[in-house]
Amino acid sequence: MFELYTTFVYQPFLNLLVGIYYVLQQIPNLPHADMGIAVIIFTLALRFILLPITLASQRSEAERRLLEAKVKQLKHDLRSDPIRLNQEIKKLFRTNPRMVISATLDLTIQVVIALMLWRIFVKGLLGADLHLLYDFMPDIPQPYNLKFLDVYDLTHPNLKLNLIQSLAIFAVEVLNLLTSPFPVTRAEVIKLQFILPITSFLIFSLLPAGKKLFIITTLTFTFCLKLIQLLRRFFRRAVVDTPKVE
């Protein structure tokens, strides 16, 4: 299983990242041709590749909200009949398999990417996995420049990038709540806008800066995507509401 993961997931993405780094090295007069810039480009490429899954996940979120509302109603209506309640909830989930599959797929992808990036920056780019580079890859002088903007060592934790990551999570969750078509409770505001950023700051504090740079770029991409979707809805609504001139 581990060999399959290495061959079909880890090795291709390691080569892609190193390939992007090589291309940056060939650009004359580029002030920062480091692995951090390669990580940003790599992340954006990955987000565009996974965009269909991201959009499907957003649709699943709407379905999840509706499903939660139905479950809540069932619990209210069948509170005196726990056996039937359990049966009806199971039936409800069986009629919504796409939501379960989409959520499982999204979680699996996130876990795989997290493990891949941890390995890349903890030991992969330091030499332990360079034997996994394909034979056709160009000969790149080593060691690689693993300092983002000549300041942030991508192989070690960094407090500043950790703080930026938490602020990015806060910004995305604020936009999520502002654009949510569903009622937002006070508990959700506290959990998503405050507890989640603080918890992520503590949990990710020991991760290498390269992983944090990936997360920050991903969050920025998500923020821009949601902003574009919000503007599209706004202009679409404005067109619908505009009175027609006879």
Residue whose token pair is 């000549």: 150
In this prediction, residue 176 carries a pLDDT of 80
Nearest alpha-carbon partner for 167 in 178, 157, 159: 159
34: amino acid identity, one letter: D
Which are the contacts of 109, defined by CB distance < 8 A and separation ≥ 6?
A: 50, 53
Of these ranges, 94-98, 102-106, 201-205, 239-243, the one predicted with the greatest mean pLDDT is 201-205
- Given a cut of 60, whether residue 245 has pLDDT beyond it is no
- Given a cut of 70, whether residue 184 has pLDDT beyond it is no
| 214-229 per-position pLDDT tens digit | 999 999 998 998 888 8
Q: How large is the average pLDDT for residues 99-107?
A: 68
From CA 184, how far away is CA 196, in angstroms rounded?
16
- Given a cut of 90, whether residue 162 has pLDDT beyond it is yes
Give buried/exposed letters for 105-144 (b at 16+ CB in 10 A, else e): ebeeeeeebeebbebbbbebbeeebeebbeeeeeeeeeeb
Q: Are 138 and 23 spatial neighbours (Cβ–Cβ below 8 Å)?
A: no
From CA 180, how far away is CA 178, in angstroms rounded?
6
Q: Report which of residues 172 and 179 the model is more confident about.
A: 172
Q: How large is the average pLDDT for residues 238-242?
A: 67
| 107-161 per-position pLDDT tens digit | 788 788 888 888 888 888 888 898 999 999 988 888 899 999 999 999 999 999 9
In this prediction, residue 21 carries a pLDDT of 94
Q: Are 14 and 124 spatial neighbours (Cβ–Cβ below 8 Å)?
A: yes
In this prediction, residue 78 carries a pLDDT of 81
From CA 43, how far away is CA 162, in angstroms rounded?
17
Assigned token pair, 237: 């609504």
Extract the runs of DSSP E, i.e. beta strands, from the chain. Answer: 147-148, 152-153
Q: Are 140 and 18 spatial neighbours (Cβ–Cβ below 8 Å)?
A: yes
| 3-40 per-position pLDDT tens digit | 888 888 899 999 999 999 999 999 988 878 899 999 99
Which are the contacts of 88, defined by CB distance < 8 A and separation ≥ 6?
A: 74, 78
The DSSP string of 33-58 is -SHHHHHHHHHHHHHHHTHHHHHHHH
